[in-house]
Amino acid sequence: MKYYITTPIYYVNAAPHIGHTYTTIAADTIKRFKTMQGYEAYLTTGTDEHGQKIERAAKAAGKTPQEFTAVVAEEFRQQWKSLGLAIDFFRRTSDPLHHKAVQQMFQRCLEHGYIYKGSYTGQYCVFDELYVNDAKPGDPCPDCGRPTETVTEENYFFKLSEFNERLLKLFEDQPDFIQPETRRNEVLAFLRRGLSDLSISRTSIKWGIPVPVEGNHVFYVWFDALTTYMSAVEGEDLWPADLHLIGKEIVRFHCIYWPAFLMAAELPLPKKVFAHGWLLFENDKMSKSRGNIVRAMPIVKVMGFDALRYFLLREVVFGKDGSFSYDALVQRYNSDLANGLGNLLSRTLTMLNQYRDGYIPSETEVDLEAWSERVMKLYDAFDFSRALEEIWTSISWLDGYIVQEQPWKLAKSSADGDQDRLDRVLYTAAEHLRMIAALVSPVLPETAEKIWRMLGMEQSVGEVRIDTLAKNKLRAAQKVSAAAALFPRIDAGPAIAQMQQLEEEETVRQAALLGKKPEAPSVAPANVAPMSEQITIDDFAKVDLRVGEVKSAELVKGADKLLHLRVDIGEPETRNIVAGIAKAYAPDRLVGRKVVIVANLAPRKLRGIESRGMIVAASLEDGSPVLASFLEDVPVGARLK
Ligand code: MSP
Atom of ligand 1 at shortest range from CA of 14: 10
Closest C-alpha residue for ligand 1 atom 14 = 247
Tell me the CA–centroid distance for residue 409 and ligand 1, in Å. 55
The finding on whether 312 has its CB within 6 A of some atom of ligand 1 is no
Closest C-alpha residue for ligand 1 atom 5 = 8
DSSP assigned state of 317: P
- 49-53, 66-70, 337-341, 628-632: least confidently modelled range: 628-632
The finding on whether 144 has its CB within 6 A of some atom of ligand 1 is no
Instruction: Express each pLDDT in 98-113 by its tens digit.
Output: 999 999 999 999 999 9
Tell me the CA–centroid distance for residue 160 and ligand 1, in Å. 24
The finding on whether 278 has its CB within 6 A of some atom of ligand 1 is yes
Does the pLDDT of residue 550 top 60, yes or no? yes
For 84, other C-beta atoms within 10 Å of its C-beta total 11
Closest C-alpha residue for ligand 1 atom 8 = 10
What mean pLDDT comes out for the span 265-286?
Answer: 94
Does the pLDDT of residue 528 top 70, yes or no? no
The finding on whether 279 has its CB within 6 A of some atom of ligand 1 is yes
- φ/ψ of 259, rounded to 5, equals -60, -35
For residues 385 and 286, the model is more confident at 385
At 624 the pLDDT is 78
Instruction: Express each pLDDT in 112-157 by its tens digit.
Output: 999 999 987 888 888 888 888 778 888 888 888 888 888 888 899 9
What mean pLDDT comes out for the span 549-576?
Answer: 90
What percent of the chain is predicted at pLDDT more than 90?
77
Q: Rounded distance, CA 226 to CA 232, Å?
A: 11
Instruction: Express each pLDDT in 188-213 by its tens digit.
Output: 999 999 999 999 998 888 899 999 99
- 242-251, 272-281, 504-513, 535-544: least confidently modelled range: 535-544
Tell me the CA–centroid distance for residue 248 and ligand 1, in Å. 9
At 87 the pLDDT is 97
Closest C-alpha residue for ligand 1 atom 18 = 247
What mean pLDDT comes out for the span 461-473?
Answer: 95
Instruction: Express each pLDDT in 296-310 by its tens digit.
Output: 999 999 999 999 999
What mean pLDDT comes out for the span 11-20?
Answer: 95
Predicted confidence band of residue 536 (pLDDT cuts 50, 70, 90): confident
Average model confidence (pLDDT) across the chain: 93
Does the pLDDT of residue 525 top 80, yes or no? no
At 621 the pLDDT is 65
At 443 the pLDDT is 98
Closest C-alpha residue for ligand 1 atom 23 = 19
The CA-based angle 266-271-277, given to 5 degrees, is: 125
The finding on whether 19 has its CB within 6 A of some atom of ligand 1 is yes
Tell me the CA–centroid distance for residue 590 and ligand 1, in Å. 20
Tell me the CA–centroid distance for residue 26 and ligand 1, in Å. 13
Quickly list DSSP for 240-255.
Answer: SPSEEEEEGGGHHIII
Atom of ligand 1 at shortest range from CA of 11: 10
Does the pLDDT of residue 231 top 70, yes or no? yes
The finding on whether 22 has its CB within 6 A of some atom of ligand 1 is yes
What mean pLDDT comes out for the span 153-169?
Answer: 95
The finding on whether 9 has its CB within 6 A of some atom of ligand 1 is yes
Does the pLDDT of residue 529 top 70, yes or no? no
What mean pLDDT comes out for the span 164-189?
Answer: 97
The finding on whether 27 has its CB within 6 A of some atom of ligand 1 is no
Does the pLDDT of residue 400 top 80, yes or no? yes
Tell me the CA–centroid distance for residue 428 and ligand 1, in Å. 44
The finding on whether 8 has its CB within 6 A of some atom of ligand 1 is yes
What mean pLDDT comes out for the span 228-237?
Answer: 97
Distance from the first to the final alpha carbon of the chain: 61
Atom of ligand 1 at shortest range from CA of 258: 6
The finding on whether 11 has its CB within 6 A of some atom of ligand 1 is yes
Range with the largest mean pLDDT of 381-395, 508-522, 573-587: 381-395
Instruction: Express each pLDDT in 584-641 by its tens digit.
Output: 888 888 888 899 999 999 888 878 888 999 999 987 766 778 888 877 778 999 999 8
Q: Rounded distance, CA 192 to CA 504, Å?
A: 47
Q: Residues near 127 by Cβ (< 8 Å), separated by ≥ 6?
A: 53, 141, 144, 146
At 561 the pLDDT is 83
What percent of the chain is predicted at pLDDT more than 70?
98
**Exposure pattern of 474-499 as b/e (b: 16+ CB <10 Å)?**
beeebebeebeebbeebeeeebbeeb
Atom of ligand 1 at shortest range from CA of 48: 1
What mean pLDDT comes out for the span 31-40?
Answer: 98
The finding on whether 225 has its CB within 6 A of some atom of ligand 1 is yes
In contact, 294 and 500? CB cutoff 8 Å = no
Atom of ligand 1 at shortest range from CA of 248: 17
At 250 the pLDDT is 97
The CA-based angle 175-177-178, given to 5 degrees, is: 95
At 619 the pLDDT is 79
Residues in the chain: 641
At 523 the pLDDT is 42
What mean pLDDT comes out for the span 565-594?
Answer: 89
At 139 the pLDDT is 86
